[in-house]
Copies of this chain bind each other. A is one copy, B any other.
């Protein structure tokens, strides 16, 4: 064990002392819309925000309840409705200025009664855990066929209908372990999952199995959204674990004619009514200008949706709670939105943006946390040049919290539809190394979320929210 110095401890004490003397003048002193000057005052307020997140944080306990009392909550399911009720009642319990539900029609897809996969080798059979991809059609009865392994869609074209027709296509392109950001590795592999079924079906495949999108070597299949092309026969599609993908790939080398049998009983129902859950603290100076913080309330139907995106939900709620607890009255109206249906439709995000436009609402910024409850590393911003410049000027204020990454990039799926040329869309960027170990699998459970990492993320979103509220980028009234 190394030895550490205690400088940061002393710095904190100093800042806290400062805070007491400076807090009362905050609202007036900081009321001018000028860029942050990294002043001691800004530092003191931000320190108090992190202190509240770490010292009195409620995000971890809120996440426990969401994961354990509600659990997996796919849009359209009774559990998703339970999550809506949970969110509404929790926000009510904080007595924010307003708490309400916003109607959203969401898709309803069910995994169905049973799913199974069997590898047939010459003299043996092996059962394989499979998980239907979200949106897959089911089978009338189990389908069975030879397996043809590919990595890219171009492999399908090269093989052609002759070699694919009547077979089960096995997409086995691994996520690239050399990419530092695992999200980029995910981005480089997820077309197999999202579009593979229709691409294979074009050549007469009867089904597809897809290597799970994770860098972990384990036994867990990972689900996730897929969609079909119009006019192409819909075939069943399921994920298998990375371990089983390696097993099947190795087996194919020895037994090129091995067969795979898969059974899925997925069902697509008509859309059903669900809700975004919204709460707000009204702004003291610009009540008609909105800052949104949010994540998505729905999850896939396996695991507990702990990192994806229970973490983002409880962190977003925590932002308002921290403002309230520290008696920081925002100048702009601060909204938390628990979006429904990010995973398979984004109807919550689309509906929220549509209604906001219809009402002529002025949203100046939206911040989303939807990349897991891991140690925060920074933000990605999608905004105009002036906003980006101001945003980057705040980086020094975050250095004591080891937040270094202030990059331009995609803000988030839920907030994406708000994009209008004026609003700044910002995503929290946590450390990405462990995210895909859990993502969309039975491993995405509360026990795999670390309290301090979660709380640091909450503090980080709250601190950025405070800076935006203080120094917002001069949107028109």
Contact = CB atoms under 8 A, between A and B. Distances in A.
Interface of A: 1-9, 12, 50-51, 54-55, 176-188, 215-216, 224, 308-309, 342-343, 368, 370-371, 375, 377, 400-402, 404-405, 409-410, 412-413, 427, 431, 433-434, 437, 439-440, 450-453, 456
A42 to B, nearest CB: 17
A434 to B, nearest CB: 6
A60 to B, nearest CB: 10
Contact of A433 (B5, B180, B343, B453): B453
A187 B431 contact: no
B6 A439 contact: no
Contact of A3 (B181, B187, B404): B187
Contacts of A5: 184, 187, 409-410
A183, A402, A451: residue with the most chain B Cβ atoms closer than 10 Å = A402
A186 B1 CA distance: 10
Given A431-B375, A433-B453, A180 B50 contact: yes
Nearest to A300: B1
Given A177-B452, A450-B434, A413 B2 contact: yes
A186 B4 CA distance: 8
Contacts of A370: 1-2
A343 to B, nearest CB: 7
A225 to B, nearest CB: 9
A19 to B, nearest CB: 12
A2 B433 contact: no
A180 B3 contact: no
B54 A410 contact: no
A419 to B, nearest CB: 13
A377 B405 CA distance: 12
Contact of A178 (B6, B55, B433): B55
Given A405-B404, A433-B453, A180 B1 contact: no
Contacts of A6: 184, 187-188
17 contacts: A1-B308, A1-B309, A2-B183, A2-B413, A4-B187, A4-B410, A5-B184, A6-B187, A54-B177, A180-B456, A181-B402, A215-B452, A402-B404, A404-B404, A433-B450, A434-B450, A437-B450
Nearest to A400: B180
A176 B13 CA distance: 12
A370 B2 CA distance: 6
B2 A427 contact: yes
A237 B456 CA distance: 34
Nearest to A1: B308
Contacts of A434: 450, 452-453
A9 B177 contact: no
B308 A184 contact: no
A293 to B, nearest CB: 15
Given A188-B6, A375-B375, A405-B402, A178 B410 contact: no
